Chains A and B, each alone.
Chain A
């Protein structure tokens, strides 16, 4: 046998061994079936949810118009609701969606957090979470890889086959390359099936063709992630003399990498970079609204200054002589100030989340899952960044809506007795909120480090596998 042609032969042999192992094939097919079912049912559910969301959003617009003649400031308090659209790629990886609110009340004076999270109102069962295609790829497929490959070298060594193989003169590195190619081909097939299931689910969920690109990027991340597990398993199999030891070592690594580190890292990050609780956040914002950003500019003093400035601008000495409604002017300025304060506090909160994410990323030294999870969720647009973008867009819309109503109060007709009532639907008729999704390039730019970490994990794991193969050669000699 030519040494150069040995790698495909070994790879073919490994492939046949894997295919002929009925238990593994059954497990693999069951997992694939489960993955496809999860993707397709997820797509069907998401299609129904999106249809319901669109209907609810249309109904919300009707409710807003139902107010008829209303006081514009009262209408600003009645507010509007935005129901967050779902990213079609959430069928593959729901990411943080269950933990993020789905509806947002837009009203005067307040920048509300999104409410109605999927995790709200549940029972102890909900603490265990669901099973999405991403969970399967991140947790179960690595386990399948370990079960498929832990005995590759150590099992053959126990049966005396390894010595025979090495006696044919094949270089241990080529033996390892062939085995890696065999396992890799199986992985590639599985990922191909998962990607096809993803494209099908995307199509079912009404996704655009452009979303196939982030799906492919996601697939690349998973390929590197799973390659790391495959190479590490082969390295363990080549290093340990007994299959039992390599299995126990790899199961311990799997449990640490996919279950414990992902659980410990966020808790640790939160302790290292704490963010404000809901009541503390609200108290900080209220304090600043009441006492001014400097802390020494109380609201009454600000209002008096505004009163004097407005009268000076219009050249009058009494509020009654103003050609505009001063209440509207006060509301306009108050809204600008409170919005600015809210935006600064929310930006600080989101930056705190980012700091926590950076701390969590450091745990990717212990587990590639710490890079895989954010990468996958970012590509699926189901991460905190995508949510932040939605909330910031929504807040811009809220601000414009409230200020438009405040301007209507400022320029209200002066000859009307009693409270000012106006057709608020007509005033805000030209305003429509359209959420702009995060572009794949933006997510790529933000998360390139995660892909680099996955690449490093895959590269180092492959190097480790070949280093273990060299030792295998020395031991065989």
Chain B
């Protein structure tokens, strides 16, 4: 048996016999199971809420159809709300991604549905879905999902397993004996760290993926990406434990160093990054935006006041009344006037998000969170892609209504019996950002391993 195999076997036995390790792994198993359960429940409720919001359009159309049919049966002419395409209600909804149970991510910070109407402002269609009624305390604490377990708890598990794997031996003197064996110090220390940390990491990865599969995540390609993210993130923490063990000779100091590093990477650095983003590229003022939109809307209304009054009593001589032709023109004017205000506000937010996206590279914890959100489909990119697609859908709905108006085409019973327009969400590409996240995690690992390698090159004497 080679030295490498002997070291690996010995380390595996030591790790297995450590009761703290077993206890930590069991705690992780329970925490991950509970997180997968709450994540699955959250994802199910969210999907239901979106379905409920989208089904509203069908419900309205169903009621109108019954009314339409009843009036026709009585020989009456259906009234204007039932026959004009301009009154058509549409809904757009953002469906869950296959692994939504993994992370709530930013899903609760963005609207997941839109009320689309042909004449309505396409930027205001998210308003009634912008704020859910989730418990603010839950939002403040953050969801206890698998992403939390992986980003926050898994590093603690890895640090608990490896924080003094070498420092303790230096402290009790057995390191001197180990270095006296005919094996290169680098091979000895790296093999021990990889076996001890790697076995825990592998276990954690299998537990997380296993629970997610049990919670209904059936998309194997996404599960494989999740496994890669977990391994890349875990590798960083094992590398950090190696570096700490090479620099510190006392077990307690190693624990303090590991704890401080965890605190800095998981709590402090992200908090500082948030503060920097708030100061360097603050989000645009919602109050100023609200007032600006209202003023511009009033100005358009004022400019059209007398025309609207005339249109209310005028005859159009066509299938659609003059008031609707006027509303159509006013809607176009309003959109032209409000468009720049909406776009400026959206660009302000985009700048803020772009800076936050760059600042995520300050901390491996944020990178891992970002990658997990993307795997779960609860990232900001997917939410903003939904908004863009919903606006495109609104443009389609408007085009349909305008075409029918131009052709003097009124709604018929047959129109109620077929879906006129349906919103289908197209998944935006995410392999690029995910690859960047995984590469960034590996780069962090390499950056931490570089000083460790230098330390190992200084010879065995420096390791005692």
Q: Tell me if B373 counts as interface (CB < 8 A to partner A).
A: yes
Q: Tell me if B426 counts as interface (CB < 8 A to partner A).
A: no
Structural contact, B49 and A83, CB atoms closer than 8 A: no
Distance to closest chain A CB from B441 (angstroms): 14
Which residues from A are CB-within-8-Å of B86? none
Structural contact, B49 and A129, CB atoms closer than 8 A: no
Within the assembled complex, what's the spacing in Å between the Cα atoms of A100 and B140? Answer: 10
Within the assembled complex, what's the spacing in Å between the Cα atoms of A279 and B113? Answer: 10
Structural contact, A63 and B49, CB atoms closer than 8 A: no
Structural contact, B369 and A121, CB atoms closer than 8 A: no
Q: Tell me if B196 counts as interface (CB < 8 A to partner A).
A: no
Q: Tell me if A98 counts as interface (CB < 8 A to partner B).
A: yes
* Interface size in chain B (residues, C-beta < 8 A): 81
Which residues from B are CB-within-8-Å of A270? 135, 138
Which residues from A are CB-within-8-Å of B366? 124-125, 128
Structural contact, A384 and B136, CB atoms closer than 8 A: yes
**Known contacts A247-B255, A263-B141, A278-B129; A271 and B41 CB within 8 A of each other:** yes
Q: Tell me if B286 counts as interface (CB < 8 A to partner A).
A: yes
Q: Tell me if B110 counts as interface (CB < 8 A to partner A).
A: yes
Q: Tell me if B120 counts as interface (CB < 8 A to partner A).
A: no
Structural contact, B131 and A63, CB atoms closer than 8 A: no
Within the assembled complex, what's the spacing in Å between the Cα atoms of A113 and B111? Answer: 14
Which residues from A are CB-within-8-Å of B128? 282
Distance to closest chain A CB from B24 (angstroms): 10
Structural contact, A66 and B144, CB atoms closer than 8 A: no
Which of these, A101, A126, A267, A279, contacts B38 with CB under 8 Å?
Answer: A267
Within the assembled complex, what's the spacing in Å between the Cα atoms of A280 and B148? Answer: 28
Structural contact, B144 and A129, CB atoms closer than 8 A: no
- Chain B, 359-376, contact with A by CB distance < 8 Å: what is the 0/1 string? 110000110011001000
Distance to closest chain B CB from A36 (angstroms): 15
Within the assembled complex, what's the spacing in Å between the Cα atoms of A180 and B310? Answer: 84
Q: Tell me if B357 counts as interface (CB < 8 A to partner A).
A: yes
Structural contact, A122 and B353, CB atoms closer than 8 A: yes
Which residues from A are CB-within-8-Å of B369? 124, 127-128
The interface stretch among B203-211, B263-271, B450-458 is B263-271
Structural contact, A125 and B285, CB atoms closer than 8 A: no
Which of these, A52, A78, A119, A387, contacts B139 with CB under 8 Å?
Answer: A119
The interface stretch among B101-109, B235-243, B335-343, B406-414 is B101-109
Within the assembled complex, what's the spacing in Å between the Cα atoms of A263 and B359? Answer: 25
Structural contact, B274 and A126, CB atoms closer than 8 A: yes
Closest to B141 in A: A266
Which residues from A are CB-within-8-Å of B272? 131
- Chain A, 259-276, contact with B by CB distance < 8 Å: what is the 0/1 string? 110111111011100011
Closest to A360 in B: B137
Within the assembled complex, what's the spacing in Å between the Cα atoms of A98 and B379? Answer: 19
Q: Tell me if A426 counts as interface (CB < 8 A to partner B).
A: no
Q: Which residues, 70 to 122 on A, are CB-close (under 8 Å) to B?
A: 78, 81, 83, 95-96, 98-103, 113-117, 119-122
Q: Tell me if A389 counts as interface (CB < 8 A to partner B).
A: no
Structural contact, A63 and B129, CB atoms closer than 8 A: no
Within the assembled complex, what's the spacing in Å between the Cα atoms of A271 and B38? Answer: 8
Structural contact, B288 and A56, CB atoms closer than 8 A: yes
- Chain A, 48-62, contact with B by CB distance < 8 Å: what is the 0/1 string? 000011001001100
Which of these, B109, B136, B138, B380, contacts A100 with CB under 8 Å?
Answer: B136
Which residues from B are CB-within-8-Å of A357? 137
**Known contacts A113-B133, A276-B133, A384-B136; A125 and B270 CB within 8 A of each other:** yes
Q: Tell me if B170 counts as interface (CB < 8 A to partner A).
A: no
Structural contact, A103 and B290, CB atoms closer than 8 A: yes
- Chain A, 224-257, contact with B by CB distance < 8 Å: what is the 0/1 string? 0000000000000000000110011001000100
Within the assembled complex, what's the spacing in Å between the Cα atoms of A135 and B365? Answer: 19
Structural contact, A81 and B290, CB atoms closer than 8 A: yes
Distance to closest chain A CB from B144 (angstroms): 4
Q: Tell me if A67 counts as interface (CB < 8 A to partner B).
A: yes
Which residues from B are CB-within-8-Å of A193? none
- Chain B, 262-292, contact with A by CB distance < 8 Å: what is the 0/1 string? 0100111011111101100001011110110
Q: Tell me if A349 counts as interface (CB < 8 A to partner B).
A: yes
Structural contact, A418 and B106, CB atoms closer than 8 A: no
Distance to closest chain A CB from B246 (angstroms): 20
Q: Tell me if A192 counts as interface (CB < 8 A to partner B).
A: no
Distance to closest chain A CB from B382 (angstroms): 12
Structural contact, B356 and A128, CB atoms closer than 8 A: no
Q: Tell me if B252 counts as interface (CB < 8 A to partner A).
A: yes
Which residues from A are CB-within-8-Å of B53? 279
Considering residues B134, B148, B266, B291, which has the most beta carbons from chain A within 10 angstroms of its beta carbon? B291
Q: Which residues, 327 to 368 on A, are CB-close (under 8 Å) to B?
A: 349, 352-353, 356-357, 360
Q: Tell me if B295 counts as interface (CB < 8 A to partner A).
A: yes
Q: Tell me if A281 counts as interface (CB < 8 A to partner B).
A: yes
Structural contact, A131 and B139, CB atoms closer than 8 A: no
Structural contact, A124 and B274, CB atoms closer than 8 A: no
Closest to A34 in B: B268
Which of these, B274, B286, B360, contacts A130 with CB under 8 Å?
Answer: B274
Which residues from B are CB-within-8-Å of A60? 290-291, 294
Within the assembled complex, what's the spacing in Å between the Cα atoms of A159 and B110? Answer: 58
Which residues from B are CB-within-8-Å of A122? 106, 109, 353, 356, 380
Closest to B41 in A: A271
Within the assembled complex, what's the spacing in Å between the Cα atoms of A143 and B263? Answer: 10
Which residues from A are CB-within-8-Å of B273? 125, 128
Structural contact, B133 and A281, CB atoms closer than 8 A: yes
Structural contact, B309 and A101, CB atoms closer than 8 A: no
Which of these, A135, A143, A247, A278, contacts B132 with CB under 8 Å?
Answer: A278
Q: Tell me if B344 counts as interface (CB < 8 A to partner A).
A: no
Structural contact, B309 and A123, CB atoms closer than 8 A: no
Q: Tell me if B13 counts as interface (CB < 8 A to partner A).
A: no
Within the assembled complex, what's the spacing in Å between the Cα atoms of A438 and B21? Answer: 49
Q: Tell me if B156 counts as interface (CB < 8 A to partner A).
A: yes
Which of these, B127, B137, B356, contacts A353 with CB under 8 Å?
Answer: B137
Which of these, B252, B288, B291, contacts A243 with CB under 8 Å?
Answer: B252
Structural contact, A266 and B138, CB atoms closer than 8 A: yes
Which residues from B are CB-within-8-Å of A444? none
Within the assembled complex, what's the spacing in Å between the Cα atoms of A346 and B123? Answer: 27
Q: Which residues, 122 to 149 on A, are CB-close (under 8 Å) to B?
A: 122-131, 135, 139-140, 143, 147
Which residues from B are CB-within-8-Å of A266? 135, 137-138, 140-141
Which residues from B are CB-within-8-Å of A294? none
- Chain B, 11-27, contact with A by CB distance < 8 Å: what is the 0/1 string? 00000000000000000
Structural contact, B105 and A52, CB atoms closer than 8 A: no
Closest to A276 in B: B133
Which of these, A103, A129, A263, A275, contacts B133 with CB under 8 Å?
Answer: A275
Listed A/B pairs (19) with beta-carbon separation below 8 Å: A99-B140, A103-B287, A117-B109, A121-B349, A122-B380, A123-B357, A124-B105, A125-B359, A128-B274, A128-B369, A131-B267, A131-B271, A139-B267, A255-B156, A266-B140, A269-B135, A282-B128, A387-B136, A418-B309
A residues contacting B by CB (< 8 A) are 52-53, 56, 59-60, 63, 66-68, 78, 81, 83, 95-96, 98-103, 113-117, 119-131, 135, 139-140, 143, 147, 243-244, 247-248, 251, 255, 259-260, 262-267, 269-271, 275-283, 349, 352-353, 356-357, 360, 384, 387, 418-419
Given contacts A81-B290, A126-B356, A271-B38, 6 further A-B pairs with CB under 8 A are: A52-B288, A68-B302, A121-B109, A123-B360, A123-B380, A263-B148
The 8 closest A-B pairs by CB, nearest first: A128-B270, A56-B287, A131-B271, A116-B286, A124-B370, A99-B136, A99-B139, A278-B132
